[in-house]
Structure 1
Amino acid sequence: MKKLVLAASILAASVASAFAADIAARPYTKAPVAPPVITYDWSGIYIGGAVGGGWATTDGVLYNAFPGALWRTDSQSRLIYGGFAGIQKQWGSLVVGIEGGWNGLDNGFNNTAGTGVFGQGCIYGGGASCQSRIDDIGYLGGRLGYAWNRFMVYGQGGYARADIDTRVYLPAANLAIAAASAAHDGWYAGVGGEYAVLDNLVLGIDYKHYEFDSERHNCNRAVVGCTVVDLRNVSAKVDAVMGRVSFKFNPWSTGPVVASTEKPSTEDHDLL
């Protein structure tokens, strides 16, 4: 019986020793580390072009004519096109920048909406109409964006300036008279969205609302067809929706933005 107990004790001690040795020899392995997240960096300088549609109206008054003789034109769609350039910087998801650009509109004149005491006759009657044309628009302002990797939405606003032509059209004689023009200061505000298709190629869509201050459009009275009642004050509004393509580069870049997902490691403890 003593021999049996002794043999069992020796066997138990051997198993315990082997088990302890196996634990000590087992290698320590860390949990797998998630790969770093690479996010797109919107910082840099960009230049591009845009094309779309614009809707313009003008309002005003023939200030030497009968009270209530208004100058107003229909809102008609126009092709609008142009170029732009800007610089921006990204902090986290926030993107702050400055952009300037120039847009041209097609050169068709639009007609009166038929308002005021004299209606569509534009004080002349007989089917005559007030007409206006916005030649071009320049702008300079700020952009504030919020980015998700390669996608960004933004708001914008700032200073704008437009060259505007006006005239009176007499359809019976197929004759335009009392032509005048002026440069108008104003402002703009809008929103947009962009997507970086490639690191340097960005596609977007942009909306701007422009308002231009009232300016005096006085035709040259030395020219036949311009009388004292043709002198007018005119203001304008434009809404534009444009598709954009831009090329962006960052001369100060040190590489893509990396958001590391690695957690601090914890030391293992010896099992006794």
Structure 2
Amino acid sequence: MSARFLGIFICLLSSSASEAADAGRAAVDWSAPYFGISGGYGWLRDVDRSFTPALRSSGDDVVFGAHAGYLHQFGAFVLGGEAEYTRLDINFEGFPIDVENAFSAKARAGFAFDRLLLTGHAGATYITTNIGLEDWGWVAGAGADYLLSDNLVAGVSWDHMQFDRFDGTLIDGQLDLVKARVSFRF
């Protein structure tokens, strides 16, 4: 019985020492302005309701871009904003239309787990095409960032963009982007 008690005591003592060491270590603070680059893949789907039955089209291609923003940490909660440009060049299959550029402004919110940051985001986005059609829509998604050093962050993100009656047409478009990101905090 005393060996059992001693084992429990040692476990509790080592657990308390570990917690004390963690408490003494400075926690990561995600509060900082940042900028970076991204690259990934995008999938475009639309439905043209001017035809009966509705005409569906899609396209996909590699995407790349740049982003800048600011995050502020309140305990484990992180809140911020981000502006992002994405070069798309996604062609609608069977049509001479290329979706070329996306400009987004997003609010970000999430939780920090030391060097790991998990966030969701939502905001507005503006898309341009090679034939002069352009319009506003909304964007929402999620992301995960990992702090590699005091200034370098690597991450992944997913954006879903939605456009209803794009530029006054009967086209309802959806764009999904999955990107790897590298950011520099200063």
Which TM-score applies when normalising by structure 2?
0.81
Where does 1:1-272 land on structure 2 (aligned, <5 Å)?
34-35=20-21, 36-62=24-50, 68=52, 70-74=54-58, 76-106=59-89, 109-111=91-93, 129-165=94-130, 180-216=131-167, 233-249=170-186
RMSD between aligned residues = 2.0
Q: Give 1:182 deviation, angstroms.
A: 1.2
Q: Identity of paired residues, percent? A: 28
Could you tell me whether the CA contact under 8 Å between 2:134 and 2:167 is conserved in 1?
no
Structure-2 separation of matches of 1:247 and 1:216? 36
Residues 43-98 of structure 1 deviation map (CA, whole Å, 9 limit, x = unaligned): 01000000000000122234xxxx61644312x32111000000110011000000
Could you tell me whether the CA contact under 8 Å between 2:135 and 2:167 is conserved in 1?
no
CA change 1:216–1:86 in 2 (3 A) is closer
Could you tell me whether the CA contact under 8 Å between 1:73 and 1:132 is conserved in 2?
no
Structure 1: stretches of 5+ with no match in the other structure:
1-31, 112-128, 166-179, 218-231, 250-272
Structure-1 separation of matches of 2:133 and 2:80? 31
Runs of 4+ in 1 over 4 A off after TM superposition: none
Whichever residue aligns with residue 32 of structure 2, its letter is G
Whichever residue aligns with residue 108 of structure 2, its letter is R
Could you tell me whether the CA contact under 8 Å between 1:190 and 1:208 is conserved in 2?
yes
Aligned residues: 166
Q: Give 1:198 deviation, angstroms.
A: 0.2
Residues 119-164 of structure 1 deviation map (CA, whole Å, 9 limit, x = unaligned): xxxxxxxxxx445321111100100110011111011111111013
Q: Which has the higher strand share?
A: 2
Could you tell me whether the CA contact under 8 Å between 1:184 and 1:213 is conserved in 2?
no
Match of 1:199, SS?
Answer: coil
| Bigger-Rg structure (1/2) | 1
Could you tell me whether the CA contact under 8 Å between 1:72 and 1:130 is conserved in 2?
no
Structure 2: stretches of 5+ with no match in the other structure:
1-16
